[in-house]
Amino acid sequence: MDATEIQKVLENHSQWLESGSKGERAVLIDEDLRGMDFRGSDLRNADFRGSNFTDANLSGADLRGANFSQGSMFAANLQSALLAQADLTEVDLRRANLKDADLSNAEVWRANLKGCCISPEILHGLLGCTMP
**Average pLDDT for runs of 10 along the chain of length 132:** 93 92 94 97 97 98 98 98 98 98 96 95 85 67
Give the model's pLDDT for residue 70: 98
Give the model's pLDDT for residue 131: 66
Q: Facing residues of 52 across strands?
A: 32, 72
64 within domain boundaries: yes
Task: Let me know: does 51 contact 30? Beta carbons within 8 Å.
Answer: yes
Please give the Cα distance from 28 to 94 (Å, whole number): 22
- Report yes or no on whether pTM surpasses 0.85: yes
Number of domains within the chain: 1
101 closest CA partner among 121, 130, 71, 87: 121
- The boundaries of the domain holding residue 67 are 34-132
116 within domain boundaries: yes
61 within domain boundaries: yes
Give the model's pLDDT for residue 21: 77
59 within domain boundaries: yes
